[in-house]
Amino acid sequence: MEEINSLLQGFSVAMTPYNIGLMMVGVILGVLIGVLPGLGGANGVAILLPLTFSMNPTSAIIMLSCIYWGALFGGAITSILFNIPGEPWSVATTFDGYPMAQNGRAGEALTAAFTSSFIGALVAVLMITFTAPLVAKFALKFGPPEYFAVYLLTFCSFVGMSKSAPFKTVAAMMLGFALAAVGLDTVTGQLRLTFGQTELLKGFDFLIAVIGLFGIGEILLTIEEGLAFKGAEAKIKMRVVIDTWKQLPKYWKTSIRSSAIGCWMGITPGGATPASFMGYGVAKSMSPNGKNFGKGEMEGVVAPETAAHAAGTSALLPMLTLGIPGSPTAAVLLGGLLIWGLQPGPLLFQEQKDFVWGLIASMYLGNIAGLIVVLTTVPLFAAILRIPFSIVAPVILVICAIGAYTVHGSMFDVWLMIVFGVIGYIFKKLDYPLAPLVLALVLGDRAEDGFRQSMLMSQGELSIFFSNGLVGTITVFALLMLFWAPMKAGFNKLRGR
Amino acid sequence: METSEEKSATSVKMVDAVTAVVIFLVGALVIWDSWRLGAKWGSDGPEAGYFPFYIGLILCVSSVVNFVGALRDKSDESFVSTSSLKMILSVMIPTIVYVGLIGGVGPIPALGIYVSSALFITLFMKWLGKYKWPITIAVAIGVPVVFFLLFEVWFKVPLPKGPLEAAFGLA
């Protein structure tokens, strides 16, 4: 059991008082970020990333990943108490969580949400602990064509899995690739798409895009809705927690189903948001209480929360093992790795054992810390939500501006952030998905490198992507994902006859 | 929450179509620049524009599909109502001025991030929030001071500073 030993080693790295302190700070900041409109997991981590430049990478990633767990937990608070999803992945939680709160069962709903989040995360971390080393070992055999095929699979999955119109997904994604291409081409040394502007030489930093698209864009949407928070009272008594915990085991089937959906959707970059909807939908159709869903059924809170947290956590598996993030937040963490001087990918498991296993151990500890923090501090965060938006909004805008500035210490980036904010607002309203844009911006250069090297190996023959069993299988999978929607429609039509 | 009294500033159909056109133009720009750099097979492998060329091509094709999709949209759903648009502009314009004040643009002097933030929060709370002066001033000064301590003192990350910080000898 090599993994167990490595994991214990990881615990010894993560369990220093300093790291545990950072964990608590991270979780609390994360819940705050998850609760406040305009700040979310991805842009919250992006804004705080520059603060960690001088920290040692292990402590830094522990803190940042805990912010992520905190944000995953925090989204549920606003959904249940205020019927306002703090994060996109907690939309499905509002369906049953808010009715429960209205019936005076807010404490139960919150406890159920937090506990199921925790269970979802735990299943995903267990999965990461035992499969990540295998995936990493396997991925060591990958050459450029295999890598490009995996990138292709990642991006095709977006097209297949997205709820948006497929061509909007493609357009958003290609826009990301185009932005990634701007600047110096590392292979030929030529300047691409800079049009003589010196600011564009270094290209677009995806952190700026994340802060603008998700931060500023979200604020604009919130303003438009003319937000006034009117919420249920929130207090969690210990007795309610215990009573709720006694009820939860009877939803074990739902938990297992949702965890499985979440893990799958996290690894293939479906992400937490579709996972939560899928978890809810599947539970609704399979549960004996399905027809009560939407009226305040606890199972309707358990299902999406478990799936969302499982997906959010397992999104780190491809990020660590292959260097391919499964979600925008994972992408930001990946950006962090690069900045701290670590090369994500299979070699990380051999060369940076302390880092990898410290992170995995911190996922266990961070989620326990998260569960304790959210169960005890809900009233505090609910109070923060009552601060009027006209105070919160300018402060968040200031935070976004500072965050954008600190990435490179450049004012141009702050302007860029505003432009991305407007784009984010328009795209959100037109149903262009933002996640593929961000991931394409992050992975663009490396996808291109993989493609170029493959083309060099084959002298320009695309058949290299089918040249052996491994790469061929991945490519076929990618194409299946790409044409998933029309295939499913066709299948349904045939069956309907 | 669209009510019948609210006037629509523009329709979803319109914005959808315009966005598709803009994305098409971006795609065309990418194709044009890639072609300039060489999008073919050079003596030593793919040229600099090889990969972006196809990105631009897919961008153009997908935006044509999206454009047609937008035109086919029969509904005249509102993209944004005039009152919402006013709200958004009343946030966007101060934000743009705020960013301008941080670094200074043209005739606007550079005030640094802390003073600009204080002004920005004051304006926001007074104008949009209609708060009383004491609370406005407390938040407007408190927040930048906290950020100053956090960034300059604790994390040692320098942010843009202006004449006020210089006067205190902090810049």
Is B115 touching A (CB cutoff 8 A)? no
Q: Across A94-98, B14-18, B152-156, which has the greatest mean pLDDT?
A: B14-18
Instruction: Look up the ipTM and state it.
Output: 0.91
Band of the pLDDT at B2, cuts 50, 70, 90? very low
CA closest to A177 among chain B residues:
B55
User: pLDDT exceeding 90 applies to what percent of chain B?
Assistant: 39
User: What pLDDT digit, counting tens, does each position of B39-50 carry?
Assistant: 787 777 778 888
Which tokens belong to A221?
Answer: 């949407």
pLDDT, average across residues A238-255? 81
Band of the pLDDT at A276, cuts 50, 70, 90? confident
Is B54 touching A (CB cutoff 8 A)? no
d(C-alpha A217, C-alpha B117), whole Å:
19
| Domain boundaries, given as residue ranges, for chain B | 8-76, 82-167
Residue A250 CB burial class (10 angstroms; 0-12, 13-18, ≥19) = exposed
User: What pLDDT digit, counting tens, does each position of A342-367 carry?
Assistant: 888 888 888 888 888 988 998 899 89
Size of interface A-B (CB pairs under 8 A): 160
d(C-alpha B46, C-alpha A463), whole Å:
16
Report pLDDT for A235. 66
- The answer to whether A369 and A24 are in contact (CB under 8 A) is yes
State whether B56 and A185 contact (CB < 8 Å). Answer: no
State whether A411 and B102 contact (CB < 8 Å). Answer: yes
d(C-alpha A417, C-alpha A420), whole Å:
5
Which tokens belong to B19?
Answer: 């966005």
Report pLDDT for B4. 44
- The residue written with tokens 């357009």 in the block is A171
| Domain boundaries, given as residue ranges, for chain A | 2-484
d(C-alpha B41, C-alpha B45), whole Å:
6
Tell me the H-state helices in chain B. 12-37, 50-72, 82-103, 112-123, 133-148, 163-167
> Does position A231 have pLDDT exceeding 60, yes or no?
no
**Which of chain A's residues have a Cβ under 8 Å away from the Cβ of B48?**
185, 187-188, 190, 192
Which 118-157 residues of chain B touch chain A by CB within 8 A?
Answer: 120-121, 124-125, 128-129, 131, 139, 143-144, 147, 151, 155-157
Report pLDDT for A233. 60
Residues recorded for chain B: 171
> Does position A41 have pLDDT exceeding 80, yes or no?
no
State whether B56 and A178 contact (CB < 8 Å). Answer: yes
d(C-alpha A213, C-alpha A183), whole Å:
21
pLDDT, average across residues A189-207? 83
The torsion of the CA quartet A351, A355, A361, A362, rounded to 10 degrees, works out to -160
* pTM score: 0.85
User: pLDDT exceeding 90 applies to what percent of chain A?
Assistant: 11
- Closest to A394 in 3D by CA, of B104, B119, B112: B119
**Least Cα separation, residue A305 to chain B (angstroms):** 27
Report pLDDT for A270. 62
- The residue written with tokens 């911190």 in the block is A362
State whether A171 and B66 contact (CB < 8 Å). Answer: yes
Residues recorded for chain A: 497
Computed over every residue of chain A, the mean pLDDT equals 84
Residue B111 DSSP code: -
Report pLDDT for A218. 82
Residue A467: how many CA atoms within 13 Å on its side-chain side? 14
Report pLDDT for B74. 80
- The answer to whether B131 and A412 are in contact (CB under 8 A) is no
d(C-alpha A270, C-alpha A255), whole Å:
19
* DSSP strands (E only) in A86-232: 183-184, 191-192
Is B159 touching A (CB cutoff 8 A)? yes
Nearest to B129 among A219, A388, A432 (CB): A388
Residue A497 CB burial class (10 angstroms; 0-12, 13-18, ≥19) = exposed
Which tokens belong to A127?
Answer: 């999965």
* DSSP strands (E only) in A23-136: none
> Does position A423 have pLDDT exceeding 90, yes or no?
yes
